[in-house]
Structure 1
Amino acid sequence: MHKLDKAIISVSELLQQPALNIPAYQRPYKWTQQHLHALLDDIKLHSDKSAYRLGTVVFHSQIDQNNNGNEQLDIVDGQQRTLTLVLLVQAILVARFDGLVRQDVKGALDRLREPLNVFLGRQRFGSEISEYNLHQNFMAAKRAVARPDFTESVIDFLLKRCQVVTFVLQDVSEAFQFFDSQNARGRDLEPHDLLKAFHLREFSQAENNLKAQSVSHWESLASADLAQLFATYLFRIRRWAQGQRAQYFSKAQVDVFKGVNLEQTGLYPYVEPLRIAHHFVDQYNQDYQRKIDHQRMCFPFHLDQMVINGRRFFEMTSHYQQKIASIVNDERTGQQRLATHLLGVALDKSASEILHTLNTYAARTRTGDQYIRTLFDCGLIFYLDKFGTHQVSQAIEKLFVWAYSCRLQMQVVQLATMDNHALENNVFERIKQAVKPSDVLSWPLSTVKSTDVKGTRVDEIKTLFLRLGYYE
């Protein structure tokens, strides 16, 4: 058993660990000055106690092949707090050390000088977010420790009586599982947080060096943006294409985005196309000829395909975040002017008018109307994912009639209303089974009779239906 496993150690002992390391796959350092000052307030508030627990640090112990086979302690959980403690003690060394009177405090700080210099000298932060927050918090820490209320007694308390609980695990998968359970008991994790942890564990050993690069785009997105990407678009499209309900994306549904590990799954026939594509794309991109033609092949993702665990999952997320953002942004240009193009392709007059109306009609911000807009957007995204921009104007018209007939015929549109309409008139299954665009575009849709209209404040929608020949 490792000496730090299930141990309670002081801040001074933590920062003296020679093997301390922030692995490249960790998320950026995102603590701001607000977090730093909250930590300082806690330390000063409890400085009269015999001890104060700052939290838990979970390590993954491994042998560093690049450092003469010495141990490396990767921080799996507790990175933000640990780095903030490093900054705080370094600020004390820089801004306060020479003026200290207590020799025991100076001695304790002196023992930390070399370990911190070694750690800061070898540690690399590949994210601009990390570099910015580290710099800003270090400057804020220097200002804070220079204040009269940050006494030598507080410094002594921070180093000797502030403590962390440490766990050391030998297997990285076990370490991430521990991380999952710890966070589940603390901050309630979002479903996409659980997916990140799962797919980090699914990286093959040969791809460990690609972890930081693979998750870089993921980490650049706000949690709310990731939540919307999965809950509003990816989850619903996949579920509706399978003929299943898709009202809420919760932690109970994360298995929707867990698929096959190409190294561990057997040689089943259904896996072979994925395995072939996976290796061919990598081989193509790594071929020496790419240094001549500067071409790059992206993996051919599809919204309803089997998920490939690990690196490809993060690539898939990045791919669809950018693609969906482009589609939605092009659609919404009609709020200021008539949308004439979608993904660089010219739209006909009818499609442009449809998008302009959806972006401008007065009742569009009602909750029910937003549900219907989600239906339309999901249908269009799935169509574009399957057929690209081929006959996109006709697809916009077809999907508008399909989605907004529900708005016209329902007085109240709720989340269940959207879900029911998607399943009872399932365009997603039709798109999934389609071989060519006409298989979708020839889908017969019923006209809406004036006697069936129960929706209110939808005159602009009725006008479009009348113009398109779907209103009588």
Structure 2
Amino acid sequence: MISKQIDKEIITVKALLSLPNLSIPAYQRPYKWSQTNLADLLSDLKVYREKSAYRLGSVVFHKHIDSDKEALDIVDGQQRTLTLLLLVKALLEERLNSLKRQDVRETLIALTEPINSFLARQTFNSDISHRNLHQNFMAAKRAVARSDFTEADIDFLLNRCEVVTFVLDDVSEAFQFFDSQNARGRDLDPHDLLKAFHLREFSQSESQLKADSVRHWESLESEQLARLFANYLFRIRNWAQGKSAQYFNKSKVGLFKGVNLDQVGLYPYVEPLRIAHHFVDNYNGEYQRHIDHQHMRFPFHLDQMIINGRRFFEMTSHYQHKIHEIVSDERSGKPMAKNSEDKSQTIRILDHELEPLASKILHTLNTYRSRTRTGDGYIRTLFDCAVIFYLDKFGAHQLSQAIEKLFIWAYSCRLQMQVVGIERMDKHALTQNVFERIKQAVQPSDVLNWPLGTLKVSDCKGTKLSEITKLFKDMKYYE
């Protein structure tokens, strides 16, 4: 029986779509893959086509007898399987008659009957499925009709792209297996998916560096990495682009996928990245470094194009350390002299001593009584992201004045709102977008001279914020 042949096996796309007894059961959710998902799949085919094989994921089947024939219901993997089927169907319509490679032509001809048979017997009751299947089929036809979708690409798709297949006899066991797979998938945070992607992007000559990167990544706590990406890297990058940044999830990981310098074309925009990448490596590899013990870091910036592979792991390590230090410095303080009239604390950020007012602002944010409320936490994150982005752009130049400005910018939202949710935080970031201003700034003054309005008593609906209100009054932003 075919089911025994494919249980716990790795099979090609050709073998998967050749199965004569495939079925999408009625209880399955609608087909929801969009043209974006299809485009991602096609992009992967281009990126990995030089590899001997490329693993697309797993497919879980429930085997049962239907009308004295063995049937294989797809319990998990229908989105992927249907998309592959649409691609091959598009190839049959758009490319079959013009193929020059006989082996590719024969493979497609062999798939004609099982694909047509599947489509003839399969029904889709959801309008969502019908719409997405039609749109993806048309997109697939456009993609495979292009001259850059070569016959070698077709061969790679059919014969070297693979799935892992599991076959279970009992439907409850199949769903239990499916749930356990998904449970493991839910445990994989977005940063874990990025780890897997960027490990694949290492060049073959960097095997030792790859091992070092994995070792360092695994030494970091998963919760630390989750906070780093969700609270800071994701939000700063998106807000700087004028995009919403509420939740970082698996659908948003593309924000941290950039260019593979070994594979991307010789485009002008890539030249500065190539120059920096190779210059830093060359400098650190020169024999003089054994004498002067100098080491040059790659010049990372929070809003720059990601270089895939090793540089991604270096970037993550760089910002994990830098952001942790900034946030820790913000929340620490050195008591001032006992005879000082100012009983607040002087604070140093990245070894730069802040002026009294900036220190007082941070001391207040660290101690005011309502700071632990959820909404106040969102505003503190908003403020911290802006400070981090400013430091990333200008270092400690005029940092105290920047903290004053960014405090008024962020906490005006808190004073005006009785309740602050994540949507309100996001809206404030986008409607008064200091991140775009910092991104476009040439000098710190481009940020510091940004005019912010004063608040009136009638504007302020926030409660239990007397300490924040007092700072606004002292700074002449409250009337």
Settle same-fold status: TM greater than 0.5.
Answer: yes
Change (3 A) 1:279 1:371: same
Matches of 1:315 and 1:333, distance apart in 2:
27
Alignment of 1:7-406 (within 5 A): 186-188=184-186, 189-334=188-333, 338-406=345-413
Change (3 A) 1:176 1:383: farther
Q: Give the superposed CA RMSD.
A: 2.4
Change (3 A) 1:416 1:276: same
Instruction: Give yes or no for contact 1:176–1:197 (8 Å, CA) kept in 2.
Output: no
Instruction: Give yes or no for contact 2:346–2:356 (8 Å, CA) kept in 1.
Output: no
2:436 corresponds to 1:429: yes
Change (3 A) 1:190 1:448: same
Matches of 1:364 and 1:335, distance apart in 2:
21
Q: Could you tell me how far 1:176 is from its partner in structure 2?
A: 11
Deviations 1:427-458 (A, max 9, x none): 00000000010000000000011111100000
Q: Could you tell me how far 1:223 is from its partner in structure 2?
A: 1.1
Instruction: Give yes or no for contact 1:335–1:359 (8 Å, CA) kept in 2.
Output: no
Matches of 1:346 and 1:183, distance apart in 2:
51
Q: Could you tell me how far 1:385 is from its partner in structure 2?
A: 0.2
Change (3 A) 1:254 1:466: same
Q: Could you tell me how far 1:8 is from its partner in structure 2?
A: 7.1
Matches of 1:364 and 1:352, distance apart in 2:
17
Change (3 A) 1:412 1:459: same
Instruction: Give yes or no for contact 1:335–1:360 (8 Å, CA) kept in 2.
Output: no
1:207 aligns to what SS in structure 2? helix
Task: Name the residue aligned to 1:119.
Answer: none
1:186 aligns to what SS in structure 2? helix
Change (3 A) 1:202 1:442: same
Change (3 A) 1:345 1:245: same
Paired residue type of 1:324: I
Instruction: Give yes or no for contact 1:347–1:393 (8 Å, CA) kept in 2.
Output: yes
Matches of 1:377 and 1:242, distance apart in 2:
18
Matches of 1:185 and 1:448, distance apart in 2:
48
Q: Which moved more, 1:219-228 or 1:194-203?
A: 219-228
2:345 aligns to what SS in structure 1? coil
2:365 aligns to what SS in structure 1? helix
Matches of 1:296 and 1:447, distance apart in 2:
47
Matches of 1:427 and 1:378, distance apart in 2:
10
Instruction: Give yes or no for contact 1:237–1:303 (8 Å, CA) kept in 2.
Output: yes
Paired residue type of 2:383: F
1:259 aligns to what SS in structure 2? coil
Change (3 A) 1:372 1:286: same
Deviating above 6 A after TM superposition, structure 1's stretches of 4 or more consecutive aligned residues are: 5-9, 173-178
Task: Name the residue aligned to 1:31.
Answer: none
**Length, aligned pairs only:** 304
Change (3 A) 1:444 1:246: same
Task: Name the residue aligned to 1:166.
Answer: none
Change (3 A) 1:220 1:184: same
Paired residue type of 1:456: T
Matches of 2:288 and 2:241, distance apart in 1:
41
| Residue of 441, 445, 451 corresponding to 2:458 | 451
Matches of 2:311 and 2:326, distance apart in 1:
22
Q: Could you tell me how far 1:225 is from its partner in structure 2?
A: 1.0
Deviations 1:403-443 (A, max 9, x none): 00000011110000000000000000000000010000000
Instruction: Give yes or no for contact 1:176–1:201 (8 Å, CA) kept in 2.
Output: no
2:418 corresponds to 1:411: yes
Matches of 2:447 and 2:241, distance apart in 1:
17
Q: Could you tell me how far 1:217 is from its partner in structure 2?
A: 2.6
Instruction: Give yes or no for contact 1:281–1:298 (8 Å, CA) kept in 2.
Output: yes
Instruction: Give yes or no for contact 1:331–1:339 (8 Å, CA) kept in 2.
Output: no
Q: Could you tell me how far 1:342 is from its partner in structure 2?
A: 1.0
Change (3 A) 1:307 1:175: farther
Matches of 2:334 and 2:243, distance apart in 1:
33
Instruction: Give yes or no for contact 1:330–1:339 (8 Å, CA) kept in 2.
Output: no
Instruction: Give yes or no for contact 2:454–2:478 (8 Å, CA) kept in 1.
Output: yes
Q: Could you tell me how far 1:341 is from its partner in structure 2?
A: 1.1
Q: Could you tell me how far 1:6 is from its partner in structure 2?
A: 7.1
Matches of 1:230 and 1:216, distance apart in 2:
19
Matches of 1:408 and 1:315, distance apart in 2:
39
Matches of 1:260 and 1:272, distance apart in 2:
12
2:371 aligns to what SS in structure 1? helix
Identity of aligned residues (%): 67
Matches of 1:290 and 1:283, distance apart in 2:
11
Instruction: Give yes or no for contact 1:372–1:407 (8 Å, CA) kept in 2.
Output: yes
Q: Which moved more, 1:182-191 or 1:311-320?
A: 182-191
Matches of 2:208 and 2:164, distance apart in 1:
21
Matches of 1:442 and 1:300, distance apart in 2:
27
1:363 aligns to what SS in structure 2? coil
Question: What 5-or-longer segments of structure 1 have no aligned partner?
Answer: 10-76, 78-172
Instruction: Give yes or no for contact 1:334–1:360 (8 Å, CA) kept in 2.
Output: no
Change (3 A) 1:372 1:175: farther
Change (3 A) 1:386 1:357: same
Paired residue type of 1:186: R
Q: Could you tell me how far 1:184 is from its partner in structure 2?
A: 5.2
Matches of 1:305 and 1:328, distance apart in 2:
22
